[in-house]
Amino acid sequence: MPQRLKDDVRQNILRSAAHVFAEKGYGAATLAEVAQGAHVTTSNIYKYYPNKEGLLNALVTPAIASRLLRLVRARIRELEIRENWSSGQADQSQPAQELLSFWIEHRLAVLILLRGADGTRFDYIRDLLIREMERLSLRFLERQSHGETASPEVRFVLVRLFTNTIDMIADILENFENRDGIQAAFAAFWTYQLAGLQAVLDPEKPGRTPSSAVDRRGWTTDDRTE
Q: What does the pLDDT look like over 147-186, one tens digit per residue?
A: 777 788 888 888 998 999 999 999 999 999 899 999 999 9
Higher pLDDT, 91 or 18: 18
Query: What is the Cα–Cα distance from 146 to 28, expressed in whole angstroms?
Result: 47
Structure letter (DSSP) for residue 117: -
Residues contacting 9, CB < 8 A, separation 6+:
38, 40, 44, 48
Structural Rg of the chain based on CA atoms: 21
Q: Lowest mean pLDDT: which of 128-132, 152-156, 209-213?
A: 209-213
Which 8-state DSSP code applies to residue 150?
P
The hierarchical CATH code for the domain 7-59 is 1.10.10.60
Rounded CA separation 23/139 (Å): 34
- DSSP conformational letter for 204: T
Q: Is 218 left (phi over 0), alpha (psi -120 to 50) or beta?
A: left
Say if residues 122 and 64 touch (Cβ distance below 8 Å).
Answer: no
Task: Look up the pTM and report it.
Answer: 0.78
Q: Does the pLDDT at position 225 exceed 60?
A: no
Model pLDDT for residues 21-79, shown as the tens digit of each residue = 988 999 999 999 999 999 999 999 999 999 999 999 999 999 999 999 999 999 888 87
pLDDT at residue 2 tops 60: no
Q: What pLDDT was estimated at residue 79?
A: 77
Residue 215 predicted with pLDDT over 50: no
Mean pLDDT value of segment 141-146: 75
